[in-house]
Amino acid sequence: MTVVVRLYRETSEMLPEPEALFKTPTANLGSNGAAQHPDKRKAGGHGPTLADEVCFLLHVQPEDQAPAGPHSPPQWWGKFAAAVRRWEVLTRKAAPVPVMRGPRGGIKLSPRFCEWLMGLPEGWVTEVPDVPVNEQLSRIGNGVVPAQAYAAFKLLLQSDEQWNRNCRLSTHHPDRADDALPAAA
């Protein structure tokens, strides 16, 4: 279970457990070259990328359009359907078409899908003027999932508050000085 899902535990417990999760967008998506079938990538001794999974394992074409509404068509997503549905519910945004046509007519990963996958506002990266598609993918892959950053800061602040409380307690009870130190992980 990811930090993001833990943030929304009440909501996520009502949703089906995902069979599979997508790979995280990475900065090298903009410079990796064309996607390969995940089996071919594994045979070469490497793990599949997000682009590999999206371009070869999904049942969607760049010309497909998501119907109006809160969810994208579940038939697009194959084994990732439950994960996509969960993220659509948590973000309150339907997933965009995950692929687009490349300059030579092939199918490639859509930066809009990566933007949605990272939980960024629509257009946060993809509507910045004069940024080519590969650069958009790199920027998104270099980014942070805002909900995970929020969870991390929240946990740090809670730990800091607990530590400060323990320090105040130890001031009033000198025999409890060891209790003021956080436990080792």
Q: 3-class SS at 50?
A: helix
Share of the chain above pLDDT 90, in %: 55
Q: Mean of the pLDDT values across residues 22-42?
A: 89
State residue 163's pLDDT score.
74
Q: Residue 7, exposed/middle/buried by CB under 10 A (0-12, 13-18, 19+)?
A: middle
Count of C-beta atoms within a 10 Å radius of residue 40: 13
- Long-range CB contacts for residues 167-174, cutoff 8 Å, separation at least 24: none
> How far is C-alpha 132 from the geometric centre of its chain's CA atoms?
22
Give the CA count within 13 Å in the CB-facing half-sphere of 35.
Answer: 23
Q: 3-class SS at 23?
A: coil
Mean pLDDT score across all residues of the chain: 84
Residue carrying structure tokens 């594994």: 42
CB 76 within 8 A of CB 59: yes
Residue carrying structure tokens 């009502």: 14
| Tens-digit pLDDT profile for residues 98-136 | 999 998 999 999 999 999 999 999 999 999 999 999 999
pTM to 2 decimals? 0.76
State residue 88's pLDDT score.
94
| Tens-digit pLDDT profile for residues 141-180 | 999 888 888 988 888 888 877 777 777 666 555 555 555 5
